[in-house]
Chain A
């Protein structure tokens, strides 16, 4: 039975999640040098077009189509065949199947866009397009099937992931690590200074992400109901706590509370609460967020010690924040909050933490190995990185024949 309220809610949430990707484009765009701002924005923006087409043709079918051995969906729903306007028997029984499909499409879009921060300022545009095509098909869709697809093996194991901590954030974080390791560093890394060119843009981008995230997490209730209200509130609490905790951590460590720190902390909190949003209470969300700000700040600092060039800290924020969030779900989940969930360690069920840990491990290994394979193949065939000369001139002029600011 189609419910008008649920359908309206999920459609609006789909639009909110769509808006996150341009928000991400601004978040990333402000952090690069001004010769690369359009190239960076484009790496997110083009994904909206590309992944939508992939999703409609085969992506949705591989992720949510008829189960093949718990590993992926068949191509039976190629071109959205059989995805109609009545509810699906397997997913979200109160909204049209099309509404569920388009809501999920927005998740499929933002996930590869997140990875682009790892190789910002140096990836060839053509190589990026092929990377996103292969990654979406062979990493995102199968992973979404494991966790959310009817019959998917990780979901059957009992791993809790409310809105995509593993599928979206751990997968993009682990793939970002592969990309940062395989695509050689930016010219002058460790010697030249890579100073953000427009932090107001970055802060606005973070605010748009925060706004859109209400659709991401509350919308994952797939209905306009109490679960959605709970997820909405935990999402906001975690983001607020993490924004403060990152700011204070940096203040104590470097003597100044920074704008970039407050913005980055907010995003870290949103990442961490994503798997937990519908399974935990408000105080648990507060603790999850507050720790996320400090953990991700530490993760970003560790980058320079470890020596890889993850340009915009995708590993530190999405990889580490997503991992913390998945484990926090295993600690703080409570059946009193959501009877369809499970109890975590602090509510008498230590087994849940183990299941969460396994799901993190499997996701990391799968996303990392697959990304290495895809990037290696692209490196041998078409080359991943722009030439030294192109890198010095900037992506805007060399990849797109445009400049962002003509003064």
Chain B
């Protein structure tokens, strides 16, 4: 089992979600996060004073899938979240030891 974490541009969420649902991903978690990478921040102007805002709003998407499906998920996020300009985000793939469905107590693959 793998957990795939992706930091993406907020406006790309719908495309990514639709794509993932189509290839059979059954659930995901999305959080609003702030951060910066090579894109750095942006400038805001209040009463003529310019402020450099370091942290930009991004979305963090977390998907847990069976290991066999993982490469497909990564590829799909890569395609759907891409604009080609700086700040498109990153994808992290993490191996999971165990997954438990709280309601039924199912373990492992069954619980994904």
Contact = CB atoms under 8 A, between A and B. Distances in A.
Interface of A: 193, 195-196, 250, 253-254, 256, 258, 260-261, 264, 297, 300-301, 304, 313
Contacts, number: 33
A258 B49 contact: no
Contact of B48 (A195, A196, A254): A254
B97 interface: no
Counting contact residues on chain B (CB < 8 A from A), the size range is: 10 to 19
A254 B51 contact: no
A297 B48 contact: yes
B55 to A, nearest CB: 11
A304 B49 contact: yes
Interface in B27-46: 44-46
Main secondary structure on A side of the interface with B: helix
A260 B46 contact: yes
A304 B48 CA distance: 10
A250 B48 contact: yes
Interface in B41-82: 44-53
Given A195-B51, A254-B48, 13 more contacts: A193-B51, A193-B52, A253-B48, A254-B50, A256-B45, A258-B45, A258-B46, A260-B47, A261-B47, A300-B47, A301-B47, A301-B49, A304-B49
A250 B53 CA distance: 19
Contacts of B46: 195-196, 258, 260
A297 B49 CA distance: 11
A329 B53 CA distance: 42
A266 to B, nearest CB: 13
B29 to A, nearest CB: 18
Interface of B: 44-53
A-B pairs, top 3 by smallest CB distance, nearest first, are A254-B45, A301-B48, A300-B47
A260 to B, nearest CB: 6
A304 B51 CA distance: 13
Nearest to B47: A300
A256 B53 CA distance: 16
Contacts of A264: 47
B44 A313 contact: no
A211 to B, nearest CB: 22
Nearest to A261: B47
Nearest to B44: A195
B54 to A, nearest CB: 9
Interface centre among A193, A260, A301, A313 (most CB of B within 10 A): A193
Contacts of A254: 45, 48, 50
B47 A313 contact: yes
Contacts of A193: 51-53
A300 B48 contact: yes
B64 to A, nearest CB: 27
A196 B50 CA distance: 13
Nearest to A199: B46
A304 B49 CA distance: 8
A312 to B, nearest CB: 9
Contacts of A195: 44, 46, 51, 53
Nearest to B49: A304
Contacts of A196: 46
